[in-house]
Amino acid sequence: MNIHEYQAKELFQKFGVASPEGKVANTAEEAGAAAREIGGSGLVVKAQVHAGGRGKGTFTNGFKGGVHVIDDAEKAQEIAGQMLGQTLVTHQTGPEGKLVSKVLVAKAVDISNELYLAILFDRQTSRHAIIASTEGGMNIEEVAEKTPEKILKVFIHPGIGLQAYQCRKIAAALGLRGKLMGQTVKLVSALWNLYLKSDCSLVEVNPLAVTTDNQVVALDAKFNFDDNALYRQKDVVAMRDTSEEDPREVAASEFGLNYIGLDGNIACLVNGAGLAMSTMDIIKLHGGDPANFLDVGGGASKEQVASAFKIILGDPNVKGILVNIFGGIMDCNVIAEGIVAAVKEVGMSLPLVVRLEGNNVEAGKKTLAESGLAITSADGLTDAAEKVVAAVAAA
Ligand code: GDP
Ligand code: MN
């Protein structure tokens, strides 16, 4: 799950991470009022979308930049008016862009240096890692590729947590000494505390800015939260903005399904993440393109399976469906009943290839056979992939 920058600022404030004051606005008038409340001469207006690269982005109406540093409240209101209700395209939104329905108005700072700081979960070492770089405000993947020596990685021991010497090492690598080192140590510890307590899987501050009056502040923030920990993060869940998410994924999460929408046209309904991955691979191998990743899990109910099938059928790009079930914990007949229930409710004219194997497979096959649905049954992964790719090509 992701949140907006203005919400990230609320978390920063709660955990004591230094960041300029800001307010969210839904209309140009609200933006003007927010700017007057914040006061002062330097302000920044920032489009609120779940994507980075806003500064260099362009609105589909031609207006340039999702981040504008301006002088006064009047200008803040005018810029907010240009952004709100418009679609912003950045290198992270895809060509279709994202609709801007909120802007952040914040106190602008005079920047002397832009740095990079992130905390994330490192799968290779199974530890949380802090990433720091002097190359702030840029695309960090590019920095990692071209100048990896400019990136410091610090791993956090699960038993003893973040140590003060590690924070000092980070500050030193960023070239921050004296008073700035003290501020950085404080900021990094506060950020770590926030990351841990809020069950984040990523906190990225880019840029971490050093101001001309010698302050270290978080100027931008990207957060990812561990979905499996959301049950104990009520405050975080309250920040969820489903209008920013793929509607198919929102529906799937309501039913506790692991679903990720993709660009292809062959929908897959699979149990188990590993089998779901290999099903996508084998579709690709045989020249097809998966429309989604969908793992209904081991203990799915008939209702969950029916919901999964309805989400698949609701996607206009889907031209064929492959159901690939290996019933270990899963009962094959529960899958079959879910499919039949969903099709009876919403109808279906797409080719459907089903490979069922394992627990209660005979009953599952019987349910499908007696349903009257036009189903192509398959034996094994290769046969299933070949059949569904051929059916979609012929359709
Ligand atoms: P992003 O483009 O979506 O990553 O949005 P950022 O919040 O990182 O803003 C993009 C760029 O705008 C930053 O790298 C800064 O150079 C600039 N910027 C953002 N806030 C301020 C500010 O308060 N003062 C100044 N001078 N520049 C800012
Ligand atoms: Mn940024």
Ligand 1 neighbourhood includes 204 CB (under 6 angstroms): no
pLDDT digits (tens, 9 = 90+) for 73-130: 999 999 999 999 999 999 999 899 999 999 999 999 999 999 999 999 999 999 999 9
Ligand nearest to the CA of 5: 1
Ligand 1 neighbourhood includes 340 CB (under 6 angstroms): no
Ligand 1 neighbourhood includes 386 CB (under 6 angstroms): no
Per-state percent for the chain, helix, strand, coil, to nearest 5: 40, 25, 35
User: What value, to the nearest 5°, has the Cα angle with vertex 57 and ends 55 and 63?
Assistant: 105
Ligand 1, closest atom to CA 51?
A: 3
Ligand nearest to the CA of 118: 2
Stretch (H or E) spanning 59: strand 58-59
* Residue 330 near residue 279 (C-beta atoms within 8 A): no
Give the distance (Å) from ligand 1 centre to CA of residue 193: 25
State the pLDDT confidence band at 4, using cuts at 50, 70 and 90.
very high
Ligand nearest to the CA of 67: 1
What span, in angstroms and rounded, lies between the C-alpha atoms of 333 and 356? 9
Ligand 1 neighbourhood includes 114 CB (under 6 angstroms): yes
Ligand nearest to the CA of 211: 1
Ligand 1, closest atom to CA 110?
A: 26
Helix (H, G, I), strand (E, B) or coil at 378: coil
- Is the pLDDT higher at 2 or at 301? 2
User: How much of the chain exceeds pLDDT 90, in percent?
Assistant: 81
- Is the pLDDT higher at 302 or at 49? 49
Q: What pLDDT does residue 139 have? A: 86
State the pLDDT confidence band at 278, using cuts at 50, 70 and 90.
very high
pLDDT digits (tens, 9 = 90+) for 153-198: 999 999 999 999 999 999 999 999 999 999 999 999 999 999 999 9
Q: What pLDDT does residue 51 have? A: 94
Q: What tokens appear for 4 in the block? A: 């907006």
What span, in angstroms and rounded, lies between the C-alpha atoms of 246 and 239? 16
Active site includes 204?
yes
Ligand 1 neighbourhood includes 54 CB (under 6 angstroms): yes
**Ligand 1 test: best mutation among 44, 49, 139, 212, most atoms within 8 Å of CB?**
44
State the pLDDT confidence band at 299, using cuts at 50, 70 and 90.
confident
Q: Which of 5, 30, 116, 386 is catalytic?
A: 116
pLDDT at 362 over 90: yes
Ligand 1 neighbourhood includes 52 CB (under 6 angstroms): yes
Q: What tokens appear for 265 in the block? A: 């046209």
Q: What tokens appear for 290 in the block? A: 């998966």
pLDDT at 385 over 90: yes
Please provide the average confidence, as pLDDT, over all residues in the chain: 94
Ligand 1 neighbourhood includes 16 CB (under 6 angstroms): no
pLDDT at 57 over 90: yes
* Residue 106 near residue 29 (C-beta atoms within 8 A): no
Give the distance (Å) from ligand 1 centre to CA of residue 250: 30
Q: What residues have CB less than 8 Å from 67, skipping those under 6 apart?
A: 44, 45, 46, 47, 54, 55
What span, in angstroms and rounded, lies between the C-alpha atoms of 49 and 98? 7
Q: b vs e for 296-324, b when ≥16 Cβ sit within 10 Å of the residue's Cβ?
A: bbeebebebbbbbbbbbbebeebbbbbbb
**Ligand 1 test: best mutation among 59, 215, 220, most atoms within 8 Å of CB?**
220
Closest residue by Cα to residue 367 from 334, 335, 324, 336: 336
Q: What pLDDT does residue 305 have? A: 87
Report phi then psi at 72, rounded to 5: -140, 175
What span, in angstroms and rounded, lies between the C-alpha atoms of 324 and 361? 12
State the pLDDT confidence band at 300, using cuts at 50, 70 and 90.
confident
Closest residue by Cα to residue 321 from 272, 384, 253, 246: 384
pLDDT digits (tens, 9 = 90+) for 198-233: 999 999 999 999 999 999 999 999 999 998 899 999
pLDDT at 327 over 90: no
Q: Which of 5, 30, 204, 337 is catalytic?
A: 204
Q: What pLDDT does residue 201 have? A: 96
Q: What tokens appear for 221 in the block? A: 């923030």
Ligand 1 neighbourhood includes 45 CB (under 6 angstroms): no
Which 3-state string (H, E, C) describes 188-250? HHHHHHHHHHCCEEEEEEEEEEEECCCCEEECCCEEEECHHHHHHCHHHHCCCCHHHCCHHHH
